Amino acid sequence: MNGQPLNLIYRDFANGLRNTLDTANTTRVVGGLKGTAAGWDYDTAALYSEVRVKDDLESGYPQYSQIMPLLDSGVINPFGPTTDPAALAAAKATEFVGQDYSTKTSLASLSGTASRHLVTLPAGPLAGAVGVELRRETFDFNPAVAIQTGDIAGQGGNTLPESALAYCRVGISRIQRAAAHGIRG
Protein backbone atom coordinates (compact mmCIF):
# COMPACT_ATOMS: atom_id res chain seq x y z
CA MET A 1 0.00 0.00 0.00
CA ASN A 2 3.06 2.27 0.32
CA GLY A 3 1.36 4.63 2.78
CA GLN A 4 -1.43 5.48 0.31
CA PRO A 5 -5.09 5.68 1.42
CA LEU A 6 -7.02 2.46 1.03
CA ASN A 7 -10.00 2.84 -1.32
CA LEU A 8 -12.91 0.85 0.09
CA ILE A 9 -16.38 0.17 -1.24
CA TYR A 10 -18.60 0.14 1.79
CA ARG A 11 -22.27 -0.75 2.23
CA ASP A 12 -23.55 1.43 5.05
CA PHE A 13 -24.80 -1.15 7.56
CA ALA A 14 -24.92 1.41 10.38
CA ASN A 15 -27.91 3.12 8.73
CA GLY A 16 -29.83 -0.14 8.33
CA LEU A 17 -32.01 -1.24 5.45
CA ARG A 18 -32.72 1.06 2.53
CA ASN A 19 -36.40 1.98 2.33
CA THR A 20 -38.06 3.99 -0.41
CA LEU A 21 -41.63 5.01 -1.14
CA ASP A 22 -42.60 5.42 -4.79
CA THR A 23 -45.87 7.16 -5.62
CA ALA A 24 -47.46 7.39 -9.08
CA ASN A 25 -50.56 9.36 -10.01
CA THR A 26 -52.10 8.88 -13.43
CA THR A 27 -54.73 10.93 -15.25
CA ARG A 28 -56.26 9.95 -18.58
CA VAL A 29 -59.12 11.65 -20.41
CA VAL A 30 -60.39 10.45 -23.80
CA GLY A 31 -63.30 11.65 -25.87
CA GLY A 32 -64.45 11.69 -29.45
CA LEU A 33 -67.21 12.28 -31.94
CA LYS A 34 -68.31 10.08 -34.81
CA GLY A 35 -71.03 10.77 -37.35
CA THR A 36 -72.00 12.22 -40.71
CA ALA A 37 -72.18 15.88 -41.72
CA ALA A 38 -72.55 17.46 -45.18
CA GLY A 39 -72.15 14.04 -46.79
CA TRP A 40 -68.86 13.29 -44.99
CA ASP A 41 -68.39 10.43 -42.51
CA TYR A 42 -66.13 11.68 -39.73
CA ASP A 43 -64.40 10.26 -36.67
CA THR A 44 -62.55 12.50 -34.20
CA ALA A 45 -60.77 11.90 -30.92
CA ALA A 46 -59.05 13.91 -28.20
CA LEU A 47 -56.71 12.43 -25.58
CA TYR A 48 -54.83 13.79 -22.59
CA SER A 49 -52.71 11.51 -20.43
CA GLU A 50 -50.39 12.47 -17.57
CA VAL A 51 -48.27 10.47 -15.14
CA ARG A 52 -46.57 12.03 -12.10
CA VAL A 53 -44.10 9.93 -10.15
CA LYS A 54 -42.17 10.82 -7.02
CA ASP A 55 -39.60 8.83 -5.13
CA ASP A 56 -39.04 9.36 -1.42
CA LEU A 57 -36.04 7.98 0.43
CA GLU A 58 -37.21 6.97 3.90
CA SER A 59 -34.08 5.44 5.45
CA GLY A 60 -30.69 3.89 4.74
CA TYR A 61 -29.30 6.54 2.34
CA PRO A 62 -26.56 8.62 3.98
CA GLN A 63 -25.16 11.77 2.42
CA TYR A 64 -21.51 11.41 1.43
CA SER A 65 -20.71 14.91 2.69
CA GLN A 66 -21.78 13.84 6.19
CA ILE A 67 -21.00 10.11 6.38
CA MET A 68 -17.42 10.31 5.01
CA PRO A 69 -16.07 12.41 7.91
CA LEU A 70 -17.74 9.96 10.29
CA LEU A 71 -16.15 6.98 8.51
CA ASP A 72 -12.79 8.76 8.42
CA SER A 73 -12.99 9.32 12.20
CA GLY A 74 -12.95 5.58 12.86
CA VAL A 75 -16.18 5.69 14.92
CA ILE A 76 -17.91 3.38 12.42
CA ASN A 77 -16.42 -0.08 11.90
CA PRO A 78 -16.37 -0.74 8.12
CA PHE A 79 -15.38 -4.40 8.67
CA GLY A 80 -18.13 -5.49 11.06
CA PRO A 81 -21.12 -4.38 13.08
CA THR A 82 -21.02 -1.04 14.85
CA THR A 83 -22.62 -1.47 18.26
CA ASP A 84 -21.95 1.86 19.97
CA PRO A 85 -25.37 3.63 20.25
CA ALA A 86 -23.76 7.07 19.88
CA ALA A 87 -21.97 6.00 16.69
CA LEU A 88 -25.19 4.51 15.27
CA ALA A 89 -27.09 7.71 16.12
CA ALA A 90 -24.35 9.77 14.43
CA ALA A 91 -24.65 7.55 11.31
CA LYS A 92 -28.46 7.89 11.26
CA ALA A 93 -28.09 11.68 11.46
CA THR A 94 -26.26 11.63 8.09
CA GLU A 95 -29.23 10.16 6.21
CA PHE A 96 -31.05 11.95 3.44
CA VAL A 97 -34.77 11.57 4.17
CA GLY A 98 -37.21 13.06 1.70
CA GLN A 99 -38.05 13.30 -1.98
CA ASP A 100 -35.05 12.51 -4.13
CA TYR A 101 -36.78 13.08 -7.49
CA SER A 102 -40.07 13.64 -9.27
CA THR A 103 -41.11 13.13 -12.89
CA LYS A 104 -43.99 14.19 -15.07
CA THR A 105 -44.84 12.84 -18.50
CA SER A 106 -47.78 13.92 -20.59
CA LEU A 107 -49.37 13.25 -23.97
CA ALA A 108 -51.99 15.43 -25.67
CA SER A 109 -53.44 14.31 -28.99
CA LEU A 110 -56.14 15.45 -31.40
CA SER A 111 -57.01 13.29 -34.38
CA GLY A 112 -59.68 13.10 -37.01
CA THR A 113 -60.62 11.44 -40.27
CA ALA A 114 -63.31 12.15 -42.84
CA SER A 115 -64.39 10.26 -45.96
CA ARG A 116 -67.13 10.47 -48.57
CA HIS A 117 -68.28 9.41 -51.99
CA LEU A 118 -67.13 12.05 -54.50
CA VAL A 119 -68.49 11.02 -57.90
CA THR A 120 -69.72 7.97 -59.73
CA LEU A 121 -67.51 6.95 -62.64
CA PRO A 122 -68.21 4.30 -65.29
CA ALA A 123 -65.97 1.86 -63.39
CA GLY A 124 -67.62 2.61 -60.05
CA PRO A 125 -67.79 5.25 -57.31
CA LEU A 126 -64.81 7.48 -56.52
CA ALA A 127 -64.28 8.15 -52.79
CA GLY A 128 -61.97 10.50 -50.93
CA ALA A 129 -60.56 10.49 -47.40
CA VAL A 130 -58.50 12.86 -45.27
CA GLY A 131 -57.03 12.53 -41.82
CA VAL A 132 -54.85 14.42 -39.40
CA GLU A 133 -53.24 13.90 -36.01
CA LEU A 134 -51.60 16.51 -33.81
CA ARG A 135 -49.60 15.31 -30.83
CA ARG A 136 -47.61 16.93 -28.02
CA GLU A 137 -45.48 14.88 -25.60
CA THR A 138 -43.54 16.15 -22.57
CA PHE A 139 -41.13 14.69 -20.02
CA ASP A 140 -39.69 16.41 -16.93
CA PHE A 141 -37.25 14.91 -14.42
CA ASN A 142 -36.54 16.93 -11.28
CA PRO A 143 -33.95 15.50 -8.88
CA ALA A 144 -33.24 16.93 -5.44
CA VAL A 145 -30.08 19.03 -5.10
CA ALA A 146 -28.41 16.17 -3.20
CA ILE A 147 -29.00 13.92 -6.24
CA GLN A 148 -27.73 16.59 -8.65
CA THR A 149 -24.47 16.85 -6.71
CA GLY A 150 -24.12 13.07 -6.27
CA ASP A 151 -24.20 13.40 -2.46
CA ILE A 152 -26.54 10.45 -1.70
CA ALA A 153 -24.88 7.07 -1.24
CA GLY A 154 -26.41 4.22 -3.20
CA GLN A 155 -27.88 6.42 -5.97
CA GLY A 156 -25.17 5.87 -8.56
CA GLY A 157 -23.71 9.37 -8.79
CA ASN A 158 -25.10 12.70 -9.84
CA THR A 159 -28.14 13.16 -12.08
CA LEU A 160 -29.24 16.51 -13.46
CA PRO A 161 -32.74 17.78 -14.29
CA GLU A 162 -34.00 16.93 -17.76
CA SER A 163 -36.92 18.07 -19.87
CA ALA A 164 -38.11 17.01 -23.30
CA LEU A 165 -40.85 18.28 -25.57
CA ALA A 166 -41.95 16.69 -28.84
CA TYR A 167 -44.55 17.71 -31.38
CA CYS A 168 -45.93 15.59 -34.19
CA ARG A 169 -48.23 16.54 -37.06
CA VAL A 170 -49.43 13.90 -39.50
CA GLY A 171 -51.82 14.36 -42.38
CA ILE A 172 -53.12 11.90 -44.95
CA SER A 173 -55.36 12.04 -47.98
CA ARG A 174 -56.52 9.34 -50.34
CA ILE A 175 -58.77 9.02 -53.35
CA GLN A 176 -59.81 5.58 -54.48
CA ARG A 177 -62.10 3.98 -56.98
CA ALA A 178 -64.45 1.28 -55.76
CA ALA A 179 -65.29 -1.39 -58.33
CA ALA A 180 -68.02 -3.99 -58.18
CA HIS A 181 -65.46 -6.61 -57.10
CA GLY A 182 -63.92 -4.55 -54.31
CA ILE A 183 -61.77 -1.50 -53.90
CA ARG A 184 -58.86 -0.63 -56.15
CA GLY A 185 -56.42 2.11 -55.19
124-143 and 162-179 beta bridge pairing? antiparallel
pLDDT tens string, the chain, 185 residues long: the values are 577 776 666 677 888 899 999 999 999 999 999 999 999 999 999 999 999 999 999 999 999 999 989 988 988 887 778 889 999 999 999 999 999 999 999 999 999 999 998 888 888 888 889 999 999 999 999 999 999 999 998 887 788 889 998 888 877 777 765 554 444 44
Tell me the pTM. Answer: 0.75
Q: Can you tell me whether residue 118 is helix, strand or coil?
A: strand
Cα of 70 vs its chain's centroid, Å: 36
Q: Are 88 and 31 a contacting pair, CB within 8 Å?
A: no
Which stretches of 45-128 are DSSP H helices? 64-73, 85-92
In angstroms, rounded to a whole number, what is the distance separating the alpha carbons of residues 3 and 127? 86
If residue 137 lies in a helix (H) or strand (E), which one and from where to where? strand 124-143
